[in-house]
Amino acid sequence: MNSRLRKRLFFEVRRFVHDIIYVDTRNLAQLTPEYLSLNDAYLRTKKKCESKKLPLDVNPKGVFACNELDLKEVNVYGFDYDYTLAVYKASMDSLLYNLGLDGLINKFKYPPGIREMKFDPNFAIRGLHYDIEKGLLMKLDSFLQIQLGTVYRGLSPVPDVEVLKLYKNKTVPLAYVENHGKTSQYFSSKMIQLADLFSVPEMCLLCNVAEYFERSQIDYHPEILFRDVKTSVGSGHPKMHNIVQHNVTEYLEQNPGIREWFERLYAAGKQLFLITNSPYQFVNAGMGHMVGADWEKFFDLIIVQARKPLFFTDESRPLRIYDKVQNTHVWDKVTQIKKGVIYYEGTLNQLQELTGWRGNEVLYFGDHPYSDLADVTLEHGWRTGAIIQELTHEIDTLNHTDFKKNCNWLQMLTQLIEECQEVDEADAKITLGTWTMERDKIRQDIKKVFNPQFGSVFRTYHNPTYFSRRLFRFADVYTSNLTNLLHFSEQHVFYPRRGVMPHEYSSYFV
């Protein structure tokens, strides 16, 4: 090793050891150039990693702040129903899958052989993108980059070479992904995102049928398949509502603590409202199961079949009264909001005019970052909370000792590779190649513990996912279950943590 390289390695490894491994500067004198070969640097880094204290566990019942939220300012609490108040069992996914499968066979005359393709609850995750034209399911990061290794046609991974050939680049153009702000069901973009949990069994059905066609060498049009599956699953929802409301305990968790929280908010003089796309009888059965037969007394306003996101964007759709006894809709004009009356459809503008609820005093919880949270925060200044049930699994994984050790070593090994990558000797390049292969394996291992195909809902190998980016943009706070808020008073202030930007890293850890 020439003297110039030895000197460079000395200063770079010394800085790395000081900044990243936190070794006492009194020991730096021992790191003389003659000992600073690449292998020595690797072994010292490995040893230091093994002695490094592991991060503390994350609280699985925590409420995480993206933006400062002062609950003292909140006088009105609003809620979506499905996957927000209602926590469904795994049987719900199987039910939706099977209803969609029946529709494909009975209505669209798909081959009965597709019944061989069973629902796999561990295949897809929320936040993925589906390319309607190409028939590919994939994971995008916050920069619209495709995470290679997470692109699937049916149930089969697509080789990276083919992905790059299809898209000409790792980065997907914005116009290909975004629908330019349109909230219509007719998408102008060529991709659709799985943004809620109802879409997970739908996407599994889509991939299963595509896999069946691929294996059977049956020609099919990816966009037609997508439309048929979407229509079939959608038409199965009324059947699902009927089945679940007559078998509530089979499909719905008890969600203990929800009534206690409602009672506390009610006693504190807070106003509560519910806006859901689900029908009244379905919601009534579920709320009765979770809260009790008197659940309506907690709510100042209840709107069913709201047709979100149109509820938040339409201007002229009138609010109507729902007759619980006759199971029909009254044609009278709604001029005031009355407690104990069930309402149907309407618009957000009407709600605000009739109630006077505005801006920071409203905190609305939903599970869908777009149809529940985006418009109310961007256009109306409401505060928002996202209920992300996958957090329970994600945090359990983060807290595992082996996962923490792998993350520590991945960080330190990556930094070591970066600091030593300028070497030009052949043997050194071979060593760096070995380190890079080790790094790639660790990244794969870390990914697979969340989900074997797609990894974490919240990040790719090193970037936040596209789903995370939208979640952090539209939600002031997020948590795994509404009942986690029982641990906080109505006077609590949620503060976001100050993150370290790339250009700040050295100044924080010198």
Encode the chain (510 residues) as per-residue pLDDT tens digits: 444 444 444 444 444 444 443 333 334 334 434 335 888 899 999 999 999 899 999 999 999 999 999 999 999 999 999 999 999 999 999 999 999 999 999 999 999 999 999 999 999 999 999 999 999 999 999 999 999 999 999 999 999 999 999 999 899 998 888 864 444 444 456 899 988 899 999 999 999 999 999 999 999 999 999 999 999 999 999 999 999 999 999 999 999 999 999 999 999 999 999 999 999 999 999 999 999 999 999 999 999 999 998 898 888 889 999 988 888 888 888 899 999 999 999 999 999 999 999 889 999 999 998 888 888 998 889 999 999 999 999 999 999 999 999 999 999 999 999 988 887 777 788 889 999 999 999 999 999 999 999 999 999 988 999 999 999 999 999 999 999 999 999 999 999 988 777 787 655 443
Secondary structure letter of residue 345 according to DSSP: E
- Reduce the DSSP state of residue 158 to 3 states and report it: coil
Confidence (pLDDT) at 330: 83
How far apart CA 166 and CA 169 sit, in angstroms, is 8
Instruction: Tell me the residue type at 292.
Output: G
- Find how far residue 462's CA is from the centre of its chain: 16
Confidence (pLDDT) at 23: 38
- Find how far residue 365's CA is from the centre of its chain: 15
Query: How many C-beta atoms lie closer than 10 Å to residue 244's C-beta?
Result: 21
Q: What is the DSSP string of 450-502?
A: T-TTT--SSBSSSSBBHHHHHHHHH-SEEES-GGGGGGS-TT-EE----PPPG
- Beta pairing partners, 63: 479
Site of tokens 């980016």? 469
Which positions are catalytic?
Answer: 80, 82
* Contact (CB, 8 A) for 17 and 419: no
How far apart CA 348 and CA 376 sit, in angstroms, is 9
- Reduce the DSSP state of residue 30 to 3 states and report it: helix
Site of tokens 């770079």? 12
Confidence (pLDDT) at 462: 85
Query: How many C-beta atoms lie closer than 10 Å to residue 425's C-beta?
Result: 12
Determine if residue 219 is labeled as part of a ligand binding site: no
Determine if residue 82 is labeled as part of a ligand binding site: yes
Confidence (pLDDT) at 419: 87
* CA pseudo-torsion sign 336, 338, 344, 347: positive
Q: Are strands 69-70 and 152-153 parallel, antiparallel or unpaired?
A: unpaired
Cα Rg for the chain, rounded, in angstroms?
26
Which secondary structure element, helix H or strand E, spans residue 70, and what is its range? strand 69-70
* Contact (CB, 8 A) for 237 and 162: no
Q: Give the predicted TM-score (pTM) of the model.
A: 0.88
How far apart CA 423 and CA 4 sit, in angstroms, is 10
